[in-house]
């Protein structure tokens, strides 16, 4: 029996299913037929929404990156608190979520370094305008005195990647290192 779903719901279902199978079988070992079978649909339906496995994957990365940055954006949108309070909230948020992300197993799986780096860059790209605007707002309020907010935002965001991916550090150590560096750069 065919089950009809709204296009966005079906698309999201395909993304979630694909990411589970990618985590289990690896990206290269997964086919669109595998994804369709797991969803109990015909492969043609998957191709109707995504022209290829690669297009599906790119959409999954984009969706996942946007979901991952929502809590950070929410913190930046809070009404005036001190810079140190903002940094404490970023740190607490990171520690609470690190390793518990929806697709963590895939992006942090053995041999998936390239996928992890792609996700990190996608997240940084998505966050840059928000962090730039955040720095501009804090400058206007006199809470920061950063000369070039855009460059500073990019430097901080992209500079965090090696620390975030350092598996020798636990979440608290990663957050502590990053916050100490941010304080030296911006505060």
Report the CATH number that the domain containing residue 93 is assigned in CATH: 1.10.357
pLDDT of 187 > 80? The answer is: no
Q: Which tens digits make up the pLDDT trace of 118-159?
A: 999 999 999 999 999 999 999 999 999 999 999 999 999 999
Residue 181 lies in a domain: yes
Residue 98 lies in a domain: yes
Residue 139 lies in a domain: yes
Cα–Cα nearest to 19, from 66, 53, 42, 70 = 53
Domain extent, residue 160, equals 60-186
Report the domain count for the chain.
2
* One domain, residues 44 and 67: no
* One domain, residues 36 and 93: no
* One domain, residues 132 and 178: yes
pLDDT of 71 > 60? The answer is: yes
* Residue pair 30/22 in contact by the 8 Å Cβ criterion: yes
* One domain, residues 75 and 97: yes
Q: What's residue 15's pLDDT?
A: 95
Place of tokens 């962090």: 131
pLDDT of 1 > 60? The answer is: no
Torsion sign over Cα 107, 113, 117, 118: negative
Q: What's residue 30's pLDDT?
A: 95
pLDDT of 72 > 90? The answer is: yes
Q: What percent of the chain has pLDDT over 90?
A: 76
pLDDT of 80 > 80? The answer is: no
* One domain, residues 47 and 68: no
Q: How confident is the model at residue 2 (pLDDT cuts 50, 70, 90)?
A: low
Residue 1 lies in a domain: no
Mean pLDDT of 157-166: 94
Average pLDDT over all residues of the chain: 92
Give the C-alpha separation, 137 to 142, whole Å: 9
Q: How confident is the model at residue 111 (pLDDT cuts 50, 70, 90)?
A: confident
Q: What's residue 112's pLDDT?
A: 87
């Amino acid at each position: 029996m065919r089950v009809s779903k709204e296009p966005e719901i079906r698309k999201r279902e395909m993304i979630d299913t694909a990411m589970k199978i990618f985590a289990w079988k690896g990206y290269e070992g997964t086919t669109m037929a595998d994804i369709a079978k797991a969803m109990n649909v015909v492969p043609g339906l998957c191709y109707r929404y995504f022209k290829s496995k690669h297009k599906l994957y790119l959409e999954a990365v984009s969706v996942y990156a946007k979901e991952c940055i929502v809590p950070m954006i929410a913190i930046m949108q809070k009404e005036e608190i001190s810079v140190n309070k903002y940094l404490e909230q970023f740190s607490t948020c990171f520690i609470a979520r690190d390793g518990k992300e929806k697709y963590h197993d895939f992006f942090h799986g053995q041999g998936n370094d390239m996928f992890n780096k792609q996700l990190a860059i996608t997240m940084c790209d998505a966050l840059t305008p928000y962090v730039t605007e955040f720095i501009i707002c804090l400058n206007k309020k006199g809470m920061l005195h950063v000369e070039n907010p855009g460059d500073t935002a990019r430097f901080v965001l992209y500079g965090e990647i090696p620390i975030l991916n350092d598996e020798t550090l636990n979440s608290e150590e990663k957050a502590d290192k990053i916050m100490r560096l941010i304080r030296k750069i911006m505060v």
